Structure 1
C-alpha cells in the first residue's frame, strides 16, 4: 500500500494541493500511456509527408512549385485545429477535446490513403491536421493538470519518449513499404492506413480517462472534482477504485476565463514570450525533420539512400527523449530549454557542412537527440507557466503559431535550399534558435518542482 500524507485524507485541503500530494497511481500511469500513444501518431503524421516528399513527387508528377503547398497543408490544418480545440478544452473539458482530435485525424488519414490526385491528398492532409493540431498542447495541459508537482516533468517526458518512437517508425516503414505493393496497393498508401487505424485504437483507450479535476474546479464543478480526487486517493491507498466518472449536474458550471486575460498585466509577458518562441523554434525542430530527405537529395544521394539516412537519423528522437528522463526534474527546465536549443544550433550547422555518410549520420543523430531533450523540456514548460482556466487556450494558441510557421516553412526553406544549398539553410535555422534561447533566458520564469498555483500566482490573479 502506498504511503499517503495525512493532508491527503479525502475532503481536506484544496483540489490542487491534494493532487500534488498524491503518489503516482495506476490512473496516472494509464493516462501517461494513453497520452503518449496519441502523441505517437501526432509525430508520425507530422513527419509522414516530409519523409514521403520524394515519393509523392514521382507519384503525382509534382513540380518544385507543387511540393510546398502539399508539405504545408497538414501544418496549416494543425494551426486551425490548435486554435479551435485548445479553446474548446478550456471551455468544455480536456477529455472531450482529446477524443475529438483523434477522431478527426483517424477519419481523414484513412481517406488520404485513397487519394487519386495531389489535390485530394492536400485536402485530406489539411483536415487530418485540424484533428491533430492541438494534440501536443492538449497532452501537456492534461498531464500537467493531473500529475503531482514533483513527478510532473518526468511522466510527461515518459509520454513523449513513447511518442517520439513515431519518428523512426515512419522512417523505417517508409523505407520498407514505398518500393512495394501490398494487395495491389502502393506502399505509401499503407502508411496513411496504419496511422488511421492506430489513432482509432488510441481513441478507444482514451475514452476511459478521467476529466481533469483542476479544470472541473476552475469552472465551478467542485463536487465532480472532489469525487475524482477522492477516487485517486482511494486508489493510492490500495483500495478498489472502479469508477472515476464524476456525478454530473451537481454543481453549476462557470464560464471560462476570457482570452484577453492572457494579455493583461503580468501574464502578457509570458504570452508574448511564447509567441516569439513558437514562431522561431519550429524552424529548427520541424525544419530539420521534415526537410532531411530533401537536404540529402541536394547532397547527391538517391531517394532510397536518403530515406535510409533519414530513418537512421530519426533514431535520435526517442534516444534524446529518453536521455531527458533522469535530468528533467533535476535541472531547471528554463535552463534546459536554453542549453539544448543552443546545442541544436551547433549540430545543425555541422550537419549542413557534413560531406560524408559518416558525418551526416553522426551530426544528424546528435541534432535529433538534442532536439528531443529540448522538445520534452519546452512541452512541460509551456503548460506550467499558464493558469488552469486558460492553460489549454494559452498553450494551444501560442503553439498554433509553430504549426502556421511550419506551414510557411516549405515556401521559405525549400527555395533557400534549392538556391543556396544545405549550409545556408542551417545557418538561417541556427540564427533562429539563438533568438529562441535568448527569449526564454530573459523572460521565462522557473518552474521545476514548483506547484502550478505558485508559478502562476507570480504572474496574474487569474481564476483557477
Structure 2
C-alpha cells in the first residue's frame, strides 16, 4: 500500500500544479490573465482543461488495459509516460505548447490514478479498506503542500539562469526513475490474477503475505471461502444493464458534481485570493497554509473510515464544503480566508477520499478497473469543461460567483448520494 501510494504522490503533485504552476507562468510572462489568454479566457482555464482532458483519456484507455493486462504494468509505464512529457515541458516558451504537453502528461497521470484505486481495493481486506484508502490518500496528498511550498519558494526566482516554474516541473521528471524502481517488485493483484484464471500465481502471492504474517507472530484467522459464480472477464456493457446501471448513473452524477466543487476551489484558490487584492506571494502563502490540510485530513478520517458508510462520509463532506464555501466568499481578512479555506478543503477531501473507496466497492473485480476508469474519465472531462465555466464565472461574477457555484455543486452531490446511493461497507467485493 505504501509503495503504490508513493507512486500516487507524484501523480497528485502533477495535478496540484494545475493551481500553482499558472501563477508562476503568469509571473514569468508565459501565461496571460483575463481576456488576453487563449480563447479570450485566462490561460489557467486552458491549462486546467488540457490537464483534465488528458486525465479523461488516460483513465478511459488505461482502465480497459488494466482489466486485460493487469494493474502492475499499467501503473509502472504510466509513470514513465508522464515523467517524459513533463521533461519536454521544461523547454517550452509559449502557452499553447505548454498546454499541449500538459495534456500528454496528464494521460499518464489518469492511467496511474485509476490503477491505484483498483489495486488498493483488491489487496486491502474489506474490514480495513476504508482506513487503507484514507492512509493512502494521506500519503498521496502530501504532494499538495509540497507543491504549494515549492511554488511559494521558487515561483518568482531564477536559479542558475533557470526560471522558477521550470524547477517546479523537475520533481515529477526525477520522480519517474525513483517510482519505477520502488514499484519494480510490486506484486500483481491476486484478485485480478484469480479473475483471469491464474489461481496458482495468486495463491503464491497470498502465500508470501501469509508467511510474513506468521514469521512476525501475527495470528491469522481461518480463511473464509466464498463461492463465486463470476465469469473470468466482464463486458463494458454490463455497466449499463441491471443491476449495475443504477449504480453507474448514481456515481457519475455524485462524483462529477463533487469534482466541480473540488477543483473549482482548489485550482482557482491562488487566483481567487489575488482577486481579493492579496499579493502573489501572500496568495501563495495562504494557499500553502490551506494545502497543509490535504494530507492531515485523510489521516484523521482513517480512524473512523470503516465505522461509517462511505456515502455518509461523502454527504458530510459535501455539507462542510457547501457551508464553508459560502462563508469564504464573504471574508475580508487573511485569517478568515485561511480558516474558511481550510474548512472547504477538509470537506472536499472527506468527499473525495470516501469517493475513491466507494467507487471501488460498487463494482465486481472483473469490471472494477473499467468501471472506475469510465466514471473517473467522465469525472475528469467534466472537471476540464468546468475550468472554462469557472473562468467565465470568475470574469463575470467575481469571487462570490465562483464560491456560490462551488457550494451549489457540492449540494447537488449530497442530494444524489442521499437519494440514490446504496450502502457498500459490508459488501463482499
Matched, 1:225 2:202: yes
Q: Partner of 1:363 in structure 2?
A: 340
Say which of 214, 238, 244 aligns to 1:261: 238
Residues 41-71 of structure 1 deviation map (CA, whole Å, 9 limit, x = unaligned): 1221112132122321242152533212223
8 Å contact from structure 2 (residues 126, 428) kept in 1: yes
Does the alignment pair 1:54 with 2:23? yes
How far residue 123 of structure 1 moved from its aligned partner, in angstroms, is 1.7
Correspondences of 1:7-406 after superposition (within 5 Å): 32-58=1-27, 59-60=29-30, 62-64=32-34, 65-66=37-38, 67=43, 68-238=45-215, 256-406=233-383
CA contact (8 A) 2:255 2:355 kept: no
TM-score, length-scaled by structure 1: 0.85
What are the superposed Cα offsets for residues 149-205 of structure 1, whole Å, 9 maximum, x if unpaired? 111111121111011111111111000011222221111101101122123311211
Report the CA distance between 1:239 and its aligned residue: 8.0
| TM-aligned CA distance change 1:61 to 1:219, over 3 Å | closer
The alpha-carbon distance between structure 1 residues 334 and 114, as it changes in their structure 2 partners (threshold 3 A), is same
Question: Structure 2 vs 1, CA of residues 61 and 86 (structure 1 numbering), >3 Å: closer, same or farther?
Answer: closer
Contact 1:318 / 1:372 at 8 angstroms: preserved in 2?
Answer: no
CA contact (8 A) 2:21 2:165 kept: yes
Equivalent residues of 2:55, 2:110 under 8 A apart = yes
Q: Distance in 2 between matches of 1:388 and 1:416?
A: 41
8 A contact 2:319–2:411 mirrored in 1: yes
1:278-310: per-residue Cα shift (whole Å, max 9, x none)?
321111111111000111111111211111111
Residue range with higher mean Cα deviation, 112-121 or 306-315? 112-121
Residue 225 of structure 2 aligns with which residue? none
Distance between the aligned counterparts of 2:346 and 2:356, measured in 1?
A: 16
- 2:31 touches 2:95 (CA, 8 Å); kept in 1? no
The 3-state SS of whatever aligns with 2:320 is helix
CA displacement at 1:261 relative to structure 2: 0.8
CA contact (8 A) 2:21 2:168 kept: no
Distance 1:410 1:447 in 2: 32
Secondary structure of the corresponding residue to residue 215 of structure 2: coil
Q: Given the two structures, how large is their TM-score scaled by the length of structure 2?
A: 0.91
Contact 1:173 1:191 in 2 (8 A): yes
- Give 1:434's match in structure 2, choosing from 387, 390, 411: 411
Q: 2: CA distance between counterparts of 1:372 and 1:337?
A: 9
Per-residue deviation, residues 94-130 of structure 1 (Å, max 9, x unmatched)? 1111112111111111211221222221121111100
Q: How many residues align?
A: 408
Deviation at 1:78, TM superposition (A): 0.7
Shift of 1:90: 0.6
Q: Measure, in 1, the Cα distance between the counterparts of 2:114 and 2:330.
A: 34
| Cα distance between partner residues in 2 of 1:346 and 1:138 | 33
Structure 1 residues 303-348: Cα deviation after superposition (integer angstroms, max 9, x where no partner): 1111111111111211211221111011121211111111111111
1:439 positional shift:
1.3
Q: Distance in 2 between matches of 1:137 and 1:442?
A: 26
Task: Find the residue that maps to 1:134 and give its secondary structure.
Answer: helix
Contact 2:361 2:427 in 1 (8 A): no
Q: Is the 8 A contact 2:261 2:405 kept in 1?
A: no
Shift of 1:443: 2.0
Q: Distance in 1 between matches of 2:176 and 2:237?
A: 34
